[in-house]
Structure 1
Amino acid sequence: MEGRRITASPRPCSGRRVLAKKRPRSDLDGFVNSVKKLQRREISSRRDRAFSMSDAQERFRNIHLQEEYDTHDPKGYCPMKLPFFRKRSKIIEIVAARDIVFALAQSGVCGAFSRETNERICFLNVCPDEVIRSLFYNKNNDSLITVSVYASDNFSSLKCRTTRIEYIRRGKLDAGFPLFESESLKWPGFVEFDDVNAKVLTYSAQDRIYKVFDLKNYAMLYSISDENVQEIKISPGIMLLIFKKTPGGVPLKILSIEDGTVLKSFCHLLHRNKKVDFIEQFNEKLLVKQQNENLQIRDVRNGDITEVSRTEFMTPSAFIFLYENQLFLTFRDRTVAVWNFRGELVTSFEDHLLWHPDCNTNNIYITSDQDLIISYCKAESDEPPLSDGNAGSINVSNILTGKCLAKITASNSLHPGDDRCRSSMKASASSMMRRSAAEALEDITALFYDEDRNEIYTGNKLGLVHVWSN
């Protein structure tokens, strides 16, 4: 679902740019070749919308708690030289690929669990001093990329490693190999994986050089060396280079993502002495917002600007661009809204109040058809208490209508001890600790939906992963 950037800061990165992966429907002049490549790769048929909604309701109708995995096993992971590995830690990231569920804890321990046997396959930490910071499933070669820091390096540099899923399934982690070894990814360096364009962007702060790699074979394609570049944003087929502000505005360049060719250079006028809240690129549309100013949506083909009142559009904490529908989601104060590029509010959700105020995108999943959003939400105030703790709900909503199609709560989920569930569960070393549905819905810190298996995976602050299935 997403392109994500991992920085070299010793602390986990909270800022993630999320991209929903579908083809664009309009071309930016001069970008025809890049966009056509994307279209040939991404074109798919659209199902009837009404059928899609009813199908979604049916898919989630009888979903309930099925299984529990535990990433905390100090006896099983040996040797454990880092003391914080011995403590329970919340799940910050879940990725599923080829019937394997990968769960990353904030401590840096990452477990791989088989959905076929319901057993833990292995821990992905190759070295005893390795702290895994993030995961990325590379569908181009069916492999998992781990981004780590190491105690021996004082946790100061990012190191990337790729391992084929088949090798992980066999527990052969030594069959993987390191990536981008030539790059010095110390703070404020970063690595960003872009699944839409099948590219990797790295920044070496030591050399002040950006490099673009092919995600299919990890070959270096080209580099960008300009100390005035402050930020790079990636969209389908293109990259936006944002330079240091000048008295007249902010200089911008649009490059082809394939070969780095400059497609357009221009300067966007800004109000002096006002902070820039964000600059985002979406195909031919540039979104610019300054503090206490209106949102500006600029068409970079002809320079036309549409303004949206600052009282109507307040600076969000995160975006998700929907390339299939030419829309974008905004997240602010636990609420989600859908906008078009005329600056019009398209959808407000009837029952989708997010649990986490900081809009952790690991608690949100957008389906590949971009028609559903699945999130960990606050339960309705008129619902009876689910447990002694703080239990929320998993809500499934239609993005275009805002209608809540399904909701997983303790009242409509089965306890793992119920007869319907007991027969499908196998006792294993990784799933001995059983929680009720109410307990499993407490303090969820990560969420992932496997569209092939129609299963939702959630992780909580105790390092437990729960499987919700029908």
Structure 2
Amino acid sequence: NISGNYENMEVMNSVNLPEEFDTYDPKENSSLLPYLRKRSEIIEIVGARDIIFALSQLGVCAAFSRVTNQRICFLNGSPDEVIRSLFYNKNNDSLITVSVYGSENFSALRCRTTRIEYIRRGKPDAGFPLFETESLRWPGFVEFDDVNGKVLTYSAQDSTYKVFDLKNYTLLYTISDKDVQEIKISPGIMLLIYSRKKGYIPLEILSIEDGKRLKSFRHLLHRNKKIDFIEQFNEKLLVKQDGENLQILDVTNSKITEVSSNEFVTPSAFIFLYEMQLFLTFRNRSVSVWNFRGELVTSFEDHLLWHPDCNTNSIYITSNQDLIISYCKAEPDDPSSEDNACSINISDILTGKCMAKIKAGNLCKQKSSKFLCTPLEALGDITSLYYDEEREEIITGNHQGLIHVWSN
């Protein structure tokens, strides 16, 4: 556990950069469309046992082995394939790629699953397509739910939602209703948000397993105020309208808790911590932790995010949900740091205390002969971040399409 290793911040003084991987290879990618052959930033990193997958902004995905420390293969199966997102399916040890294709004007999502074992052998083409019967043209989508082991697809063509089993991809049930505007998924349940009426919004809660209706109700709204968000977390419903208080509704007894709009300002992103019964909010580079009584649990003492848009690709929450690892910038009142000083910070979610950080002062300024970046340059340019909990290594990507492994 990372918390066991990083209890003392001095431990991070010995951090080093043992490996650098490159997603750019003009020779290997010569068959791709011309614009896919350029260097581009890493937007997503996914780990699966001893393999690191890195996805670039342009849609090129590469797999790297931590056993041989070499690139295994690229996952783009055709010259016009642009991979949009990755999902590691622990249920059957496979990687799912979601792609668009030039031959379809990049307008329809296509999913493919490939066993990790095939990728390890350098055979990414041994996988097979998923959800071929579904029309996933924009604004259609596919969403993978690791908590419940489900896949949700939406076909805009016929306003149909479908739920599949993540273990074997069999169809479980279908929801066809043009009035359903959005679906939110929580452990065990789904929230159906219907078209807004004059003074209220109709809502339904379904069982995630079989789609059976568990509860149907209306939530009253201020008529002329836009809805900032509606979020579902187990039996709690969070509703916020523009300029109004946050309402936390317990759907089991209809009790509403309100949090003043001065205290709770609409965030740009949420992360729900199911194990801890808490939720994180992200706004203007800051992270806060709240409970479902509407109380602020934690304000972090040293965790100012580097990316102002709260890009969650450069944030990692450990599986037991006790630590947050983020790419951060120096606090404005920190006298020991320059204006553009950056670091990788590891903080305790419950206390807000900074447990450890990787910062410029601890790093070697010399470049390894086999690397394109010095450790200092690697730290100064991070676009995505992942933590390998088995190997206890932090993995980052940058604007050049390079992957760096940070170990203790």
Letter in 2 for 1:139: K
1:168 counterpart residue number: 119
Q: Distance in 2 between matches of 1:299 and 1:329?
A: 19
1:105 shift after superposition = 0.2
Instruction: Tell me the CA shift for residue 270 of structure 1.
Output: 0.3
1:374 and 1:262 map into 2 onto residues whose CA distance is 38
**Identical-residue share of aligned pairs (%):** 73
1:13-24 to structure 2, matched below 5 A, reads none
Distance in 2, Cα, partners of 1:370 & 1:416? 35
* TM-score, scaled relative to structure 1: 0.83
The answer as to whether partners of 2:29 and 2:37 remain within 8 angstroms in 1 is: no
Cross-structure match for 2:256: 305
Q: Is the 8 A contact 1:74 1:85 kept in 2?
A: no
Pick one of 357, 364, 387 that aligns with 1:449.
387
**One-letter amino acid of the structure 1 residue matched with residue 372 of structure 2:** R
| Alpha-carbon distance in 2 for matches of 1:168, 1:54 | 33
Shift of 1:410: 2.0
Shift of 1:435: 1.4
Aligned to 1:150: 101
Choose from 330, 339, 351 the match for 1:401.
Answer: 351
Aligned 8 A contact 1:64 1:412 in 2 = no
**Deviation of residue 55 (structure 1)?**
4.2
Gaps of 5+ in 1: 1-46
Alignment check: 8 A CA contact 2:330 2:338 kept: no
1:76 aligns with 2:14: no
Work out whether residues 111 and 131 of structure 2, in 8 Å CA contact, stay in contact via their aligned partners in 1: yes
Q: Give the Cα separation in 2 of the matches to 1:324 and 1:446.
A: 25
- The C-alpha deviation readout for 1:304-359, integer Å capped at 9, x for no partner, is 00000000000000111111111111000100000011101010000000001111
| Partners of 1:57 and 1:379 in 2: CA distance | 21
Q: Which has the higher strand share?
A: 2
Asked if residue 64 in structure 1 is aligned to residue 2 in structure 2, the reply is: no
In 2: Cα distance, 1:187 partner to 1:383 partner = 49
Are 1:438 and 2:376 matched, yes or no?
Answer: yes
Task: Give distance in 2, aligned partners of 1:304 and 1:86.
Answer: 56
Preserved contact between residue 391 and residue 438 of structure 1 (Cα < 8 Å): no
Among residues 377, 380, 383, which one is paired with 2:336 in the alignment? 383
1:469 paired residue number:
407
Q: Secondary structure at the match of 2:174?
A: strand
Moved over 2 A (4+): 52-64, 379-386, 413-417
Q: Distance in 1 between matches of 2:247 and 2:304?
A: 27
Deviation at 1:441, TM superposition (A): 1.2
How far apart are 1:268 and its partner, in Å?
0.2
Structure 1 residue 213: Cα displacement: 0.3
2:304 is paired with a residue whose SS is coil
Deviations 1:83-120 (A, max 9, x none): 21122110000001121110000011111111111111
3-state DSSP of counterpart to 2:305: coil
* Conserved? CA contact 2:231–2:237, under 8 Å: yes
SS of the residue 1:444 aligns to: coil
**Number of equivalenced pairs:** 404
Which amino acid is the alignment partner of residue 434 of structure 1?
L
- Equivalent position of 1:347 in the other structure: 298
**Inter-CA distance 221–176: structure 2 relative to 1 (3 Å threshold):** same
Partners of 1:72 and 1:438 lie apart in 2 by 21
Judged with a 3 Å threshold, the aligned counterparts in structure 2 of structure 1 residues 130 and 56 are, in CA distance, closer, same or farther, namely: same
Question: Which AA in structure 2 matches 1:382?
Answer: P
Counterpart-to-counterpart distance in 2, 1:71 and 1:309: 47
The CA deviation at 1:433 is: 3.4
CA contact 1:167–1:173 (8 Å) conserved in 2 = yes
The one-letter code matched in structure 2 to 1:241 is: L
1:381-433 Cα deviation digits (max 9, x unpaired): 433559xxx5511000000000000000121134575xxxx7xxxx8xxxx43
- Could you tell me whether the CA contact under 8 Å between 2:330 and 2:337 is conserved in 1? no
Q: Distance in 1 between matches of 2:152 and 2:21?
A: 34
2:45 touches 2:55 (CA, 8 Å); kept in 1? Answer: yes
SS class of match (1:439)? helix
Q: Deviations over 1:162-205 (max 9, x none)?
A: 00011001111121000000000001000000000000000001
Structure 1, 391-400 or 302-311: larger mean CA deviation: 391-400
Return the letter of the residue paired with 1:447: L
Match of 1:283 in 2: 234
Amino acid at match of 2:376: A
Amino acid at match of 1:306: T
User: Which string of whole-angstrom CA distances, capped at 9 and with x for unpartnered residues, describes residues 48-71 of structure 1?
Assistant: xxxx85544269633322211111
Q: Which residue does 1:129 correspond to in 2? A: 80
Letter in structure 2 aligned against 1:383? S
Which residue matches 1:21?
none
Q: Are residues 142 and 334 of structure 1, via their aligned partners in 2, closer, same or farther at CA, if it must alter by over 3 Å?
A: same
**C-alpha deviations, 1:425-457, integer Å up to 9, x for none?**
xx8xxxx43311210012311000000000011
**Could you say what the CA RMSD is over the residues aligned between the two structures, in angstroms?**
1.7
The answer to whether 1:242 aligns with 2:180 is no
Aligned to 2:277: 326
Instruction: Look up the match of 2:135.
Output: 184
1:44 matched residue in structure 2: none
Structure with more contact order per residue of length (Cα contacts < 8 Å, sep ≥ 6): 1
Q: TM-score, normalised by structure 2?
A: 0.96
Show CA shifts across 1:184-232 (max 9, x none).
Answer: 0001000000000000000001111000000000000000000000000
The CA distance in 2 between the partners of 1:384 and 1:194, in whole Å, is 40
CA contact (8 A) 2:364 2:376 kept: no
Shift of 1:239: 0.2
- CA contact under 8 A between 1:444 and 1:458: conserved in structure 2? yes
